[in-house]
């Protein structure tokens, strides 16, 4: 019996090998003829043209079907451009079709290509390339396309609808569509793995670089133009959504009646559905806990109207984590609702975040947010709670900060008004704002240094922010700030170009028992790791730092009354400095009197920060020890007249011209000192 089955297996293998081999041989004889027939018949159905560069028949990898492989395919659109470009379009049909008068194509696989779909401003598509029935030639076709399955592999989909301002770029990694496509009514089954490059809707970008997949069963009625979603599972990144409802094509537009829900979604999954510009401050947040999501779209969509859209989501007994937080927010709960409102457009759209509560390292944080009218946003924001810096220092966005301690108490911080008013100093008075930040031994570690805000408070009252007894200790310094500033909110909301020409107007006092300028300046210097980077990289990092300094100085308009007991900069040591620092138009003016180098200096200097920084200073020196003057000034970069060969006292009037390049490097060769 064993020999019988063995011989039977050998016979069957030999039979199938002979059958496949014979079929493969026969297809080589039909190859040219079939290629011409298929290309000719397809072009008969088109008002444009299908161009192929090569053709081949294959049976071994598709047995028992035959694959007619069109190679390097270009399908022209209705405007003379390329609708489809593909490395291969493989048409599948039964083996016996080779011996009949008609080839019946039942599936197609399109691989490695680009599909360009464009709709003009007047609503005309570029894919309207198929002949109407009345236009079709009278002779009987030798090729019948009765598709039951279509598959796309590695296809770049480019979509642009200028009539409703929509664009999308999507990589179709693998997608299958199966059903009786030749029927007016059929059940469509489809699965797909996609990568969304972007989807632009009304100038907002959605789904940038997001992984998307779906598994769907849709009841299609081509005659009535209806699509009923019977079983659809949509997955965006790691969040899955059940979608049901229907879509109908009306003469006046497309009618949507869709609902989506999820019991497995996460907060980060919902964030990924938001416009990219809203995601900037939300990236990295992940959630655990009981998360609920429900949404619906209902109504007609055309050039004049949009459907009603409502999205609700919330978290209960949850946890929020972020790589920038050393500890998560715990016991998180909130409810959020988005609606496009009465008019179903941006003007009536609202987003509300209600009843947000969380514990941050056992400290309660409460928040509320409402945004109305997305065309001209009105914001209502409230925040109250305690932020432990040991957990939150990473949110400051400075990689040089490596640790934190102490607490910042946020006291009823609120902001209410139109966003445009918040940007404009002339209209900021319309905005309601208030609250306070109170510091309690707040410390930040930067490398080996630590800065501690020992005490102090920032209090916001309308457009005025007062600084009350803010004491900063660390890095060899002990500094106290006191004063007031205006236009803080417009400065915080200003764009990178400061197009509103916002200025932070201030009047403040700055007192210091000790000021170590060298150690303080290290906070903005490159880190040891950055110093090891190649020179072009370091130049780029320095440029970024200078741009940040220029941006800060461009906002400043005001003055500090300064009083320093002791200070040092490089080798220069001074004490009892009294004077005034004034800022405006990216320029700092300093006037004052200081004891240094055994005598006194009257100082009058101007520093310009924009572009290539430069300093011009006038000094009136009295009873200066010349040896110390040259030593602490590092002999002004020369070795002819030095502290080693000069003695005595100096009374002089001195003018100093100093320059830096765009990257912040001091130009010693351009230093000029006139006395």
Q: Is the pLDDT of residue 362 over 50?
A: yes
Q: Is the pLDDT of residue 138 over 90?
A: no
Angstrom distance (rounded) from CA 52 to CA 110 = 13
CB atoms within 10 A of CB 536: 8
Cα–Cα distance list, 37 to 33, 90, 103 (Å): 6, 15, 9
Q: Is the pLDDT of residue 379 over 90?
A: yes
Give me the pLDDT at residue 5, please: 36
Q: pLDDT digits over 517-543, tens only?
A: 888 877 766 555 655 556 554 555 555
CA angle 428, 433, 435 (to 5 degrees): 150
96: β partners: none
Q: pLDDT digits over 331-345, tens only?
A: 999 999 999 999 988
What are 309's two structure tokens?
């859209």
Report the pLDDT averaged over residues 499-515.
Answer: 90
Cα–Cα distance list, 182 to 13, 39, 95, 143, 144 (Å): 37, 20, 21, 14, 10
Is residue 168 within 8 Å of 200, Cβ to Cβ?
yes
Q: Which residue has the higher pLDDT, 181 or 476?
A: 476
Is residue 74 within 8 Å of 62, Cβ to Cβ?
no
State phi, psi for 147 to the nearest 5 degrees: -65, 135
Q: pLDDT digits over 204-246, tens only?
A: 788 899 999 999 999 999 889 899 999 899 999 888 999 999 9
Give the residue among 346, 317, 345, 311 at the shortest CA–CA distance from 330: 317
Angstrom distance (rounded) from CA 400 to CA 446 = 6
Confidence of residue 271 (pLDDT cuts 50, 70, 90): confident
What are 469's two structure tokens?
């007894």
Average pLDDT, the chain: 84
Pairing of the two strands 103-119 and 143-161: parallel
Give me the pLDDT at residue 10, please: 40
How far apart are the two ends of the chain, measured CA to CA in Å? Answer: 117
Give me the pLDDT at residue 661, please: 79
Angstrom distance (rounded) from CA 488 to CA 466 = 10
Q: What percent of the chain has pLDDT over 90?
A: 49
Report the pLDDT averaged over residues 151-168.
Answer: 90
Give me the pLDDT at residue 275, please: 76
Give the residue among 621, 617, 633, 556 at the shortest CA–CA distance from 594: 621
Give me the pLDDT at residue 403, please: 93
Q: What string of DSSP letters covers 583-605? A: EETTEEEEEEEEEETTEEEEEEE
Angstrom distance (rounded) from CA 58 to CA 520 = 74
pTM (two decimals): 0.76
Give me the pLDDT at residue 16, please: 37
Q: Is the pLDDT of residue 6 over 50?
A: no
Q: For 137, how many CA atoms within 13 A lie in the half-sphere containing its CB? A: 12
Is residue 52 within 8 Å of 87, Cβ to Cβ?
no
What contacts 590, CB < 8 A, 6 or more positions away? 579, 580, 581, 582, 603, 604, 605, 606, 607
Name the H helices within 484-564.
488-493, 517-521, 528-531, 535-555
Is residue 270 within 8 Å of 204, Cβ to Cβ?
no
Is residue 381 within 8 Å of 354, Cβ to Cβ?
no
Chain centre distance of CA 150: 35
Angstrom distance (rounded) from CA 524 to CA 483 = 25
Q: pLDDT digits over 411-421, tens only?
A: 999 999 999 99
Give me the pLDDT at residue 663, please: 66
Angstrom distance (rounded) from CA 305 to CA 499 = 34
CA angle 327, 241, 188 (to 5 degrees): 155
Give me the pLDDT at residue 283, please: 78
Q: pLDDT digits over 548-604, tens only?
A: 656 677 788 999 999 999 999 888 899 999 999 998 888 999 999 999 999 999 999
* SS3 (DSSP) at 38: helix
Q: For 434, how many CA atoms within 13 A lie in the half-sphere containing its CB? A: 4
Confidence of residue 2 (pLDDT cuts 50, 70, 90): very low
State phi, psi for 26 to the nearest 5 degrees: -65, -35
Is residue 586 within 8 Å of 610, Cβ to Cβ?
yes
Q: What string of DSSP letters covers 82-142? A: EEEEEEEEEEEEEGGGGGSS-EEEEEEEEEEEEEEEEE-TTS-BTT--BPPGGGS-SSPPS
Give me the pLDDT at residue 598, please: 92
Q: pLDDT digits over 59-113, tens only?
A: 655 556 677 788 999 989 988 899 999 999 888 776 555 555 565 777 889 999 9
Give me the pLDDT at residue 205, please: 85
Angstrom distance (rounded) from CA 381 to CA 434 = 11
Is residue 389 within 8 Å of 364, Cβ to Cβ?
no
Q: Is the pLDDT of residue 422 over 60?
A: yes
Pick the most confident of 90-99, 126-135, 378-387: 378-387
Give me the pLDDT at residue 8, please: 35
Report the pLDDT averaged over residues 109-121.
Answer: 92
Q: pLDDT digits over 275-307, tens only?
A: 777 667 777 888 999 999 999 999 998 878 889
- In the chain, what are the domain boundaries? 376-519, 526-674
Q: pLDDT digits over 628-639, tens only?
A: 988 988 887 778
Give me the pLDDT at residue 322, please: 92
């Amino acid at each position: 019996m064993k020999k019988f089955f063995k011989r039977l297996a050998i016979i069957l293998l030999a039979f199938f090998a002979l059958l496949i081999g014979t079929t493969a041989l026969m297809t080589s004889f039909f190859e040219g003829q079939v290629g011409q027939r298929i290309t000719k018949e397809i072009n008969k159905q088109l008002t444009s043209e299908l161009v192929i560069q090569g053709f081949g028949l294959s049976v071994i990898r598709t047995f028992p079907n035959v694959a007619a492989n069109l190679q390097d395919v270009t399908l022209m659109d209705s405007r003379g451009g390329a609708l489809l470009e593909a490395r291969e379009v493989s048409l599948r049909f039964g083996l016996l079709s080779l011996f009949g008068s008609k080839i019946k194509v039942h599936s197609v696989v399109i691989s490695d290509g680009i599909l360009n779909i464009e709709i003009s401003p007047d609503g005309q598509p570029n894919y309207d390339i198929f002949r109407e029935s009345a236009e079709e030639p009278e002779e009987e076709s030798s090729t019948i396309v009765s598709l039951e399955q279509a598959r796309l592999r590695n296809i770049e989909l480019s979509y642009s609808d200028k009539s409703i301002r929509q664009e999308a770029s999507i990589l179709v990694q693998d997608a299958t569509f199966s059903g009786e496509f030749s029927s007016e009514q059929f059940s469509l089954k489809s699965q797909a793995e996609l990568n969304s490059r972007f989807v632009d809707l009304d100038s907002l970008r959605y789904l940038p670089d997001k992984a998307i997949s779906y598994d769907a069963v849709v009841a299609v009625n081509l005659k009535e133009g209806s699509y009923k979603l019977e079983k659809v599972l949509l997955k965006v990144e790691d969040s899955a959504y059940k979608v049901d409802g229907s879509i109908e094509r009306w003469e006046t537009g497309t009618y949507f009646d869709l609902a989506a829900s999820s019991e497995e979604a996460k907060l980060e999954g919902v964030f990924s559905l938001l416009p990219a510009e809203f995601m900037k401050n939300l990236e990295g947040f992940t959630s655990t806990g009981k998360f609920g999501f429900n949404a619906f779209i209902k109504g007609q969509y055309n050039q004049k109207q949009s459907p009603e859209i409502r999205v609700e989501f919330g978290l209960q007994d949850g946890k929020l984590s972020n790589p920038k937080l050393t500890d998560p927010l715990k016991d998180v709960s909130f409810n959020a609702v988005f609606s496009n409102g009465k008019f179903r457009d941006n003007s009536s759209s609202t987003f509300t975040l209600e009843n947000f509560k969380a514990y941050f390292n056992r400290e309660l944080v409460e928040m509320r947010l409402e945004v109305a009218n997305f065309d001209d946003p009105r914001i209502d924001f409230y925040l109250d709670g305690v932020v432990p810096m040991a957990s939150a220092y990473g949110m400051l966005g400075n990689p040089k900060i490596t640790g934190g301690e102490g607490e910042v108490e946020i006291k009823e911080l609120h902001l209410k008004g139109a966003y445009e008013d918040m940007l404009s100093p002339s209209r900021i008075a319309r905005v309601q704002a208030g609250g306070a930040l109170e510091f309690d031994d707040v410390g930040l570690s930067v490398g080996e240094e630590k800065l501690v805000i020992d005490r102090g408070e920032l209090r916001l009252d309308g457009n005025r922010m007062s600084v009350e007894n803010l004491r900063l200790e660390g890095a060899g310094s002990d500094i106290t700030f006191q004063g007031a500033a205006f236009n803080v909110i417009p400065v915080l909301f200003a764009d990178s170009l400061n197009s509103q020409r916002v200025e932070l107007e201030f009047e403040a006092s700055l007192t210091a028992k000790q000021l170590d300028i060298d150690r303080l300046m290290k906070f903005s210097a490159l880190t040891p790791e950055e110093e090891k980077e190649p020179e072009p990289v370091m130049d780029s990092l320095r440029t970024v730092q200078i741009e940040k300094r220029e941006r800060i100085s461009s906002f400043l308009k005001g003055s500090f009354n300064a009083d320093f007991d002791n200070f040092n900069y490089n080798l220069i040591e001074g004490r009892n400095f009294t004077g005034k620092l004034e800022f405006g138009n990216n320029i700092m003016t300093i006037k004052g009197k200081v004891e240094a180098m055994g005598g006194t200096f009257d100082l009058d200097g101007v520093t310009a920060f924009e572009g290539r920084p430069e300093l011009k200073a006038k000094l009136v020196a009295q009873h200066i020890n010349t040896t110390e003057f040259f030593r602490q000034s590092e002999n002004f970069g020369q070795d002819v007249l030095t502290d080693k060969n000069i003695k005595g006292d100096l009374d002089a009037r001195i003018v100093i011209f100093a320059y830096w390049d765009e990257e912040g490097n001091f130009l010693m060769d351009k230093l000029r000192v006139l006395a």
